[in-house]
């Protein structure tokens, strides 16, 4: 793959992004949208394009860091955005495992068979994206996904590094859980609501999959720490199908989340309401797959104190 021309690359002002893997630098206008770190987890690093019904992948285990960024008004192509980051990885000793461009990756199928942070924190235009995966050791790997959507560009990085603390180390886990809980609680109190982004349901059904769903544990801990607070869980759908059907589905999903909080995390049922809005409160356009992904969600809403 050809590196971008010097004149083109010069248009991309690069600045360090604190905490980014290997001090990876991104365009100066890049604004971080999300960050999620799992102290000990697994990630299936794509090693090829979509073929025979699947994306070939190699599983890595360790500390997994997921970050997304947005660049408003971006005029650079996906290659101009990807090339400097690829060069940085090579200079840091990474071996490129796989790289591709939209159709060459497998288009729609690749995008939906590999891990992508949910919208609105990451948007992928299936006609305009690039992907790269690289490794530096048996325990150190990284993937970069770059896409343009309208007048904005999005960058996702997922990095796995060696685990320095045993997963059974209770103090370390407690510290991580407390940190994540504080983040969720701060968003809940600051904004009055928070999207529980890691929930997974059977397609077209109200059944909440087993998880683990870290957001529910964090929400339960927040409620334990704030016994005066109540919440409402509100389900939302995209605009596909009839309104009555979508309201019923969104209500089922919110109710399933409430049941999980009550039955698995011992939350007082009197402190949790549930309701469904169907497609009546979108947060993105229903005209694109990314927008529909964003609109399918369950939110926790902070109610007045008891």
6-161 CATH pick, 1.10.4100, 1.10.3470, 3.40.1000, 2.60.40: 3.40.1000
170-302 CATH pick, 1.10.1370.30, 3.40.50.300, 3.30.565.10, 3.30.1330.60: 3.30.1330.60
CA dist 231 and 223 (Å) reads 9
pLDDT tens column, 97-141? 999 999 999 999 999 889 998 878 899 999 999 999 999 988 899
CA dist 83 and 88 (Å) reads 9
Neighbours of 60 (CB within 10 A): 23
pLDDT tens column, 197-208? 888 887 778 889
- pTM of this prediction? 0.53
Is residue 164 scored above 60 in pLDDT?
A: no
CA dist 41 and 39 (Å) reads 7
Q: Cα–Cα distances in Å, from 57 out to 49, 157, 189?
A: 10, 16, 40
């Amino acid at each position: 793959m050809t590196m971008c021309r010097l004149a083109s690359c010069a248009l991309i002002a690069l600045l360090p992004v604190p905490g980014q893997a290997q001090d990876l630098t991104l365009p100066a206008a890049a604004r971080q949208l999300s960050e999620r770190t799992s102290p000990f987890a697994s990630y299936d690093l794509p090693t090829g394009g979509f073929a025979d019904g699947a994306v070939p992948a190699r599983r890595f285990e360790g500390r997994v860091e997921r970050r997304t960024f947005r660049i408003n008004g971006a005029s650079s192509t996906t290659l101009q955005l990807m090339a400097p980051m690829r060069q940085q990885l090579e200079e840091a000793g990474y071996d490129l495992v796989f790289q591709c461009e939209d159709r060459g990756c497998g288009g729609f199928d690749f995008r939906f068979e590999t891990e992508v942070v949910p919208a609105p924190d990451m948007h992928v235009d299936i006609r305009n994206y690039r992907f790269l995966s690289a490794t530096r050791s048996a325990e150190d790997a990284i993937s970069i996904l770059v896409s343009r959507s309208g007048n904005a560009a999005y960058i996702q990085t997922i990095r796995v590094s060696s685990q320095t603390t045993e997963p059974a180390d209770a103090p370390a886990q407690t510290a991580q859980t407390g940190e994540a809980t504080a983040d969720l609680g701060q968003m809940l109190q600051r904004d009055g609501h928070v999207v529980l982004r890691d929930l997974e349901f059977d397609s077209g059904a109200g059944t909440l999959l087993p998880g683990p769903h870290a957001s529910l544990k964090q929400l339960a801990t927040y409620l334990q720490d704030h016994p005066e607070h109540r919440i409402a869980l509100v389900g939302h759908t995209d605009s596909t199908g009839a309104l009555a059907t979508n309201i019923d589905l969104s209500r089922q999903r919110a109710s399933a989340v409430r049941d999980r909080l009550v039955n698995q995390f011992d939350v007082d049922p009197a402190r949790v309401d549930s309701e469904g809005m169907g497609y009546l409160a979108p947060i993105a356009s229903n005209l694109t797959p990314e927008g529909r992904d964003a609109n399918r969600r369950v939110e926790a809403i902070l109610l007045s104190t008891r």
